[in-house]
Each structure stands twice: as C-alpha cells, then as structure tokens.
Structure 1
C-alpha cells in the first residue's frame, strides 16, 4: 500500500487535492448549503476543519470542477458557474489594539482588491469593503461570494476585558455592515468562528444570517464522523492497529476514548477531533495532539473571572438551548464559551424539559484541560506534579493506592505553604485536578447518592475507589461517613470490587498536607 499523505497543518482544499492527500469528503454539505440560501454562519472549536471548509467553498464557487473529481458534489452539481470570491482570514488579527486591528482590516482588503485592479485610499474598512463588492459586480456582471474565516479571532483574546472588547467589537461590526447593504450584489456569504455570532453581538445589522451550528443536517460538516472513519479511513485503522499491536476493534475503541465524543446537536453523529485523529494516524500512536497545539489564554482567564472550579467540570451540566447563545454582556456562567471552544459537548437531550446535558467529550480533553489548570494550584511546581502523577498512575494500576497516596504526600510536602491555600476548597480542587489527570481512569467529584455526595470516585478497569476528604479531622471519621451513608451501595451492580478510603488534610497555616489515610 502506498504511503498515505495526511494534510497536517494544511487548510487549502486545492493543495490537498492536487497533492492527492487524504480528504474526508464534505462536498455534499457544501452543495447543500450553497443551494439553499445566501447568508450562513458556522461555529466549531479551533482546529476542527473550519478553514478547510471555507477553502472548499472558495474552490467550488471559483468553478474549479477538476478539483472535485470523484467527490460527492461531482454528481450533484451540473452547472459549475464561477463567481468572484473574496476571502478574509481574520486569524491574523489576534493580539491587536484598535489601531492595529483597523490596519489589519485594510491590509486584508488590499489583498482582495489587487486581483481585480481595485484601488482605494479610504481609511474606513467598511467603505473599502462596500466599494470592493460594488466595483467587482460592475466589472464582472456577477454576484460576489464573501467568505470570512474565524471572524471572532481578534475578539477572543480580550473577551474577558470589557473595555477592549467593546472597542474591537465596534470595529468588527462596522467592517461587516456592508454585507447586508450590498445584498443584491452578493451570491453567497459564509462566516465561521468559535463563538456564536449572537454572543458577541456584532451582527445586529446582519439579521438575515442563518446559524447552522446546531442544525442536525450539518452536525457532521466539520470533524470526522465515526462512519467516515470506518469507511474513508478503513485502511488507516488497520495500519494503526499494526503499529499499536491491537486488533482493529481495540484500535477503534482507543480512538473513540481519546478523540471522539463530540456532538453539535442531538440526535447527531459522534464526531472525532480531526486534528488529533490525523496526527495520530501520521505518528502511529495515541497522544494529546489538540492540547499540544496550544491552549487559548482567554479560556483560563474566563474561568477565573467566573470562579469556575475544576470540580465543576466533573459533573455533567444542564443547559437550555438559549444558553448556547448568551450574549457576553449578560453571560452568567462560562458554559457557552466552554461548549463553543470544544471543552464540553452535548451528551444528551431531554425533549420533555428541552434541556441539553453537557460534559467533557473524551480523555484527551479531560487530561489536557486539567494539566493546564494545575499551575493555578501548584505554581512553578506543576511540572514536578506531572512526574508524580505519572508514578501514581502506575501504582494505582497495580492496585497500590497506599503507595500512590504516600507519593502524593511526599510531593505536597515539597510545595510551600501560601496564604491562598489555607482552606478546604483549595485542597479538594487540587485533589480533583491531580486525580483527573491520572490516565486510564474515570474520575468524578461530588457524585450524588441518595444519602449524600461522594467527594471523589475513581474507576479503574478492575476496581472502584470511593474517597472522602476531611480537613483538620480524622481519616477514620471520613471512612465512617462512607460506611454509615452506604456510598458503596450505588456501585453494587457494576460488578467491580469497591475500596473505601478516608483521607485527612491538616490545614494549620504552616504546612498543609495529607496527614493520614485509612483504606478498607
């Protein structure tokens, strides 16, 4: 079998096709959207294939029929009309103040003006855009296609800074305002981003845009569905299975555990993270690729702003459909941003209450997210914490929880006391972060039972651990609470042995650490 070429880091449809690289066929979606309206918006997490989708639209509307040979759209499209296409990539507008952003908009406008010989000295981006659309229409006699990729990139880095957000949002709003004014001269307008358009309130004038982000027919438009994986990447699965010395089914299960679990509507297909999946096949191993490509600083800042604790991610949460579009100014929690950024996803939907259930999609996100939260609790010692966690994981895998807790105690003894750690919640969150990073285990915090909440539950392949934490109390007292409230009864039908663990922390303002534990 010839070596498969994976489009790692490539987002240009024409180059991928010309170089005969792997392309997961999304062209039926392209045809369906292009044939059903004029203004569309799509929200998906970063590195989920939005830019490639925009590039595919570009090649389609430019009438490059030869690039689509063998793809679904070849049988659907009969006319292949070419249109003038304006393509604006907003990802280059990050980390800018209002003057820099204005200059960037003028720069990308100039890039789009040159192919049509349009010259403008206006310093107002909205006037330049309106002039460009009108001039091209007059020159060609054809309606113009406008593609805007990552429209919200300039705004995300300042989403937690109200003053800067308002200034930059006004600039972006003005830039997009001609898109409604020039409707007669436009054939198609397509925008992508991470946040929903209503959240940043910049399309108040463009009120005829169709948001397809949660529409069931388009739930698989970005990313790779399980069906696409098993059909269009069947040989890739077999090759990966050989490299990992696993069966085909074991390989699929491992891929699902690490990279699957996304749902952008309900019901809807399981969607894999495409960036992680392609890198996994290229490298021939499971790894945390998506988090390795960068963690948005705005997300950590917003978690702090809303006092969002790591333990809050341990429980699945409910959300009304309106919550997904909450405006930034009135957003009461970080849920919409976590969902749109890809850190939580739709797990279920209850038609009776019309509520969605949200949770972490997969192992890669769980471990990666908590690794990025750990410095908030351990500071410069977080790197040492990673080493400790890896060793603890190996011990727990051998059913040696006593050794794992001894190692944790030794590590915490090296972390100096500081004022903001002198309370129970800090240590509960720290324990949650540490145990959540342990690989191969399912971790839950504050798990509900009919008699109360279990502080920490850990499921391994062979055992269930129930942990109760006490602060300035006793481990025996913690263990008695587990037994007296019958916490283990919840797990009777799971067929795994249950180990009960009482842990006590000493918080005396001098040296805060685990002082004792009892395992039964």
Structure 2
C-alpha cells in the first residue's frame, strides 16, 4: 500500500476489526445509543451490501462493553456505564440453504456454540426449545438480560422464492424459532433483526408482532449508508484523488458520485443516501464502475417479473404505490414492486401526502443501467456477453448516421425470443424496444415514449436528432406520415442539428422488424 493511502472498509463487516486496524469509519454510533436506550425489539430492512452486518457488529461491541473501540465517536460522550451483556449473534448471510435440513443444521450449530457457554437442558430437543433454554440460562448465569442480534433473517426465504414446498418448510422453521423471542421477553435486554425483505406478518413474523419496524422511520433513514455530508466530511482525500485520476474538478467528481451511487431514500422528505459498497469502491480505486450490481445476480427478481407479466416500461419510468405495497412482501401476490424496492433496485422518489402515494424509481445510474443491462438477455436474443458490444455499436452507428446498420443490429434483438414474455407479441416487442433505447441513454440523450402524442423514440447525438416511429403490422409509409402529421419534429427544429425520420414496421408473424425507411429533414 502506498504511503498516505487510507484504508477503506470495503467488505469489512466487523466493527472491532475496523477500529483496531484503523479503517476509515463513518460514525453511526449515535443511532446505536438511541436504539439501545429505548430497548425495544427492532426490525430493519435494507438492500444487500448496505452496512446491515456492520451495524449489528457495532451493537455487539457496544453491548459487550468494549468501550475502547468507541474512543472519539459520538457514543463515547453519551454512554457512561458500559455494561456487559450476553450477546447471541445469529448470522444467516454466508450460507447456501438447499434443504430444510441445511437450515436446521445452521441453526443447531449456532445453538451448540451458545450452549457451550451457557449450558443445555437434557429435555430440550427442538430448535425453539433449545433457543429458549439458552436465552434463559444466559440470563441466569450472567445476571444480565440477553441481547439477540439476527443478521439477514430472511436469507433462506429469498433463496427459496421459486420453490413453494421449500419456502413453506423454511417459513415454518423460522416462524417457530423467531417466535421464541416473544415468549422470552422477560430475559431480553435488546433484540434487533435485519434483512432485505419484510415477509408478511401472516408468515414469519406472526408470532413476533412486537417488533418495531424502523425501515421507513425518518429519523433512522441514515442509519445505514452514507449521506452527502458524510461523504464530504470523511473522504475528502479520496474524492480529490478520484477527481485527479478522472480529469475532473472536485465538484465534478462529487456530481458524478451522486449520479452513480446516491439517490436512495428510505422515508419521505429525507436526504439521499449513497450505496456504501459502491461509493467506497469508487473512492478506493479512483474508478467509476458498477460495483454493487456486480456482487449479486438477482435471478429471483427476473423470475418474479416473468411470472407477474409486469410491464417493464412502467417499472423503468417509475411506478406509483401505496405505502402498504412495500412495507412487507407476500410471496403469494405476484407483484414485483415490493421486492424490487426492498432489494434496492427501486427507491422512494416522490411522496403525495394527500393520497399517501409514493413514486418509486431507480435510485441512480449504476442501478438503472445495471438492471437494464442484466435483464436484456432474458428478454432478447442477445446474450449477456454481447449486450455491451451491441449497445455501444448502436450509439456509434447513429453518431455516424449509419441508420441501416443500426436497424440491422436492432433486428438481432428480436431474432429468437428465449421464452414467451407474454402471449401478446406486441407487449414483448415493445419491452425489448424500450430496453434497447433506455440502455443507449448511458451514452447519448434518448427519449422513449411514455405518453401519447410523442414519437416512439428520439435519439440525440452531437450532429443528428433521430425520430423513430414503429408500426405493428403497419407500413413504413404510415409510420413516416404519422411523424409529419403529429408534428413530432417540431420541438427539435431549432436545435441546429440534422433531423432524421425513421419509419419502421414490425411483423407479428415474423416477430421482428420487417422493413424501415429513412428520410432526412
């Protein structure tokens, strides 16, 4: 490591490790003190790689009384007693749950470790009975109430979303296991569960209805992630290095960091939150890239989208939803919006207080283009390896006014659908078309029709403005005539660039672009 380069805690989930090894730490300990003082059972939903594990590790160090780790932090000025409590920390994150027996083994293994510390009752045979016994004896042996921390409580459930039998088995196991926390209330000092999703109360949490869900509570909106002020106050040297490496001003680097990684909102009327994993990677390596999206393949999201036949065009442009839609997730209701929100692919953008309606959208460019790029192979004939090449070529061809090459390449996206998205060919063709043009938006100014009275697509390059109109089982002449009759070119006539009209026909029978015609205007 170069002299003077600071260590950023990328992937470091241990608070003690961060503090003892001198990693940069964004102070969240005021939240820890506030929650610990209240002492009620909490639940927090946040996307993956958003700092949930580090937060629980911070609570663990605090309740274990490790005062020395908190020197110089906000909590040092707030706490005076630094009592030591028995802490039971269950981490379900780093495992593959392939069978009911695997989940039971993981739970049993954790119980065995705790039983070595606090003893085991001979008549405790089931997992819930053993859990209850451990909590009671930990309290009796230490004379202190017990702290229970559960990291990624829902990991087994997420891995079984598309297997109803396995999902039911996991749900039954976890329901009875977590239900112990209600009956053991008199032995407990503090309980905190985290996860990606909040599954409906009728399933996992039906026996644990005393949990206080702080996922959308405004004052806890900043408990995970990094705010703009925290970014500037904690990472000035790294931002300067990023700016210099990418030939940007300091303000320019901040602006690009915002566009790429900021924009998460976990409650209405709150400041934006940066994805900590992505922004720390960008600062560590002085490079803008899609770090968060590359760490996981959300295939379960695609499966939900396919089963629900959800219109991706609506999703991409932003979707309205009542608060009840995304505060919990019901597997049996094939609505992808709650899962997309809780997984971090959508976030709160606007809030209508009168009707209690939220508008959800992509938080930032990393997520928007990462998501579009990921789903393209599932909706088109283009493979995952090809999509980046194709999108780049699309842009280059329009920059040089090679429209025929552009249209020929576009045909490849419709060549052979890997599956039927919808019985109606029109829906599939429209979604594919939408994905292609939205992906081009990374590199040039693109408008895709989202309302009547506008062309299907408008693409602006340095020298040209293209207006596209597609007709399903119509003629190219009808498409070009519509461009003229509807005045689609009028808004762009004063921009001083060459205007190009492209009319195309899409054949239901061939399931592809059949013909096109170009007119310079």
**Structure-2-length-normalised TM-score:** 0.91
Q: Deviations over 1:409-467 (max 9, x none)?
A: 14635974468599333222212222222223465544225xx4543355668987543
Structure 2 match to 1:440: 443
Deviation at 1:498, TM superposition (A): 9.4
Residues 467/152 of structure 1: CA separation in 2 closer, same or farther (3 Å cut)? same
Residues 271/10 of structure 1: CA separation in 2 closer, same or farther (3 Å cut)? same
Residues 475/77 of structure 1: CA separation in 2 closer, same or farther (3 Å cut)? farther
Mapped to 2, the partners of 1:321 and 1:185 lie a distance apart of: 34
Cα contact 1:470–1:504 (8 A) shared by 2:
yes
Q: Deviations over 1:372-394 (max 9, x none)?
A: 11111334634223212122234
Deviation at 1:159, TM superposition (A): 2.0
Residues 112/312 of structure 1: CA separation in 2 closer, same or farther (3 Å cut)? farther
Structure 2 match to 1:129: 131
SS at match of 2:450: strand
Q: Are residue 159 (structure 1) and residue 158 (structure 2) matched?
A: no
Mapped to 1, the partners of 2:63 and 2:223 lie a distance apart of: 18
Q: Deviations over 1:331-388 (max 9, x none)?
A: 3521111100111110011112211111111111111111211111334634223212
Structure 1 match to 2:476: 475
Cα contact 2:48–2:196 (8 A) shared by 1:
yes
2:23 to 21, 24, 41: 21
Structure 2 match to 1:145: 147
State how 1:117-516 maps to structure 2 within 5 Å: 117-118=119-120, 122-198=124-200, 201-329=203-331, 331=333, 333-379=335-381, 381-396=383-398, 398=399, 400=400, 402-403=401-402, 406-410=405-409, 412-413=411-412, 416-417=415-416, 420=420, 423-438=425-440, 439-441=442-444, 445-449=448-452, 452=453, 454-458=455-459, 466-487=467-488, 499=499, 501-507=501-507, 509-510=509-510, 512-513=512-513, 515-516=515-516
Deviation at 1:106, TM superposition (A): 0.6
Cα contact 2:381–2:416 (8 A) shared by 1:
no
Structure 1 match to 2:43: 41
Mapped to 2, the partners of 1:76 and 1:163 lie a distance apart of: 49
Mapped to 2, the partners of 1:216 and 1:72 lie a distance apart of: 20
Cα contact 2:266–2:347 (8 A) shared by 1:
yes
Where structure 1 has 5 or more consecutive residues not aligned to the other structure, the ranges are none
Cα contact 1:488–1:498 (8 A) shared by 2:
no
Cα contact 1:503–1:514 (8 A) shared by 2:
no
SS at match of 1:188: strand
Mapped to 2, the partners of 1:387 and 1:147 lie a distance apart of: 46
SS at match of 1:348: strand
Deviation at 1:512, TM superposition (A): 2.6
Deviation at 1:166, TM superposition (A): 1.8
Mapped to 2, the partners of 1:174 and 1:262 lie a distance apart of: 34
**Structure-1-length-normalised TM-score:** 0.91
Mapped to 2, the partners of 1:199 and 1:351 lie a distance apart of: 26
Mapped to 2, the partners of 1:28 and 1:494 lie a distance apart of: 55
Cα contact 1:106–1:123 (8 A) shared by 2:
no
Q: Structure 1 residues 334-343 or 233-242, which shifts more?
A: 233-242
Deviation at 1:165, TM superposition (A): 1.7
Aligned residues, how many? 514
Q: Deviations over 1:104-161 (max 9, x none)?
A: 2111222333344557684421111100000111100100000000000000122233
Mapped to 2, the partners of 1:508 and 1:330 lie a distance apart of: 33
Cα contact 1:199–1:327 (8 A) shared by 2:
no
Mapped to 2, the partners of 1:344 and 1:315 lie a distance apart of: 11
Residues 481/205 of structure 1: CA separation in 2 closer, same or farther (3 Å cut)? same
Structure 2 match to 1:62: 64
Mapped to 2, the partners of 1:163 and 1:505 lie a distance apart of: 46
Q: Are residue 518 (structure 1) and residue 521 (structure 2) matched?
A: no
SS at match of 2:177: helix
Residues 260/145 of structure 1: CA separation in 2 closer, same or farther (3 Å cut)? same
Cα contact 1:447–1:454 (8 A) shared by 2:
no
Q: Are residue 110 (structure 1) and residue 112 (structure 2) matched?
A: yes
Computed over aligned residues only, the root mean square deviation of the Cα atoms, in angstroms, reads 2.8
Mapped to 1, the partners of 2:123 and 2:465 lie a distance apart of: 69
Residues 178/57 of structure 1: CA separation in 2 closer, same or farther (3 Å cut)? same
Deviation at 1:260, TM superposition (A): 1.0
Residues 484/38 of structure 1: CA separation in 2 closer, same or farther (3 Å cut)? same
